[in-house]
Amino acid sequence: NNVPAVMKTDIREREDGYLLDIELPGFKKEEIKMELEDGYLTIAAARTASNEERSEQGKLVRQERFSCTRTYFIGEEMNVEDIKARYENGELKVFVPKKDPQAMQTKKTISIE
């Protein structure tokens, strides 16, 4: 079972945003979770190995679990709805759009009356 300890990631800048290509071979889509909190995107993948060993009495002797987690800072102005993700052939593709700098400035400005 070759499960990477670290998620190998390529980040490409496009005109409209950033594309993260994250290698997660051997995982199923259901075993991958993504969360966004305070501008940090956390991706976690976990699974139990299917090849378990049993003693002659049928007791479980060995069962392995694999997990890896990685966090990326993508900006506090991001919302969950902004992020698009797709998983196929052992690769998670995540698209994070660029936010309009003007909109970001407006969001953080407090008007004084």
Burial tier of 45 (Cβ tally within 10 Å: 0-12, 13-18, 19+): buried
Q: For residue 16, give both structure tokens.
A: 């409209």
Q: Which pLDDT value is given to residue 53?
A: 63
Q: How confident is the model at residue 108 (pLDDT cuts 50, 70, 90)?
A: very low
List, in sequence order, the alpha helices (H) in the chain.
101-108
Dist. CA 91–CA 54, nearest whole Å: 33
3-class secondary-structure state, position 103:
helix
Cα torsion for 54, 47, 64, 58, to the nearest 10°? Answer: -10
- Dump pLDDT digits (tens) for 2-11: 544 568 999 9
Q: Which pLDDT value is given to residue 1?
A: 47
Dist. CA 72–CA 95, nearest whole Å: 12
List, in sequence order, the alpha helices (H) in 2-112.
101-108
Q: Which pLDDT value is given to residue 51?
A: 58
Q: Which pLDDT value is given to residue 7?
A: 85
Q: Which pLDDT value is given to residue 47?
A: 80
Closest CA to 99 of 83, 81, 77: 77
- Dump pLDDT digits (tens) for 15-73: 999 999 999 988 889 899 999 998 999 999 988 665 556 666 667 666 667 788 999 99
Q: For residue 26, give both structure tokens.
A: 């051997």
* pTM of the predicted structure, to 2 decimals: 0.70
Q: Which pLDDT value is given to residue 26?
A: 83
Q: How confident is the model at residue 105 (pLDDT cuts 50, 70, 90)?
A: very low
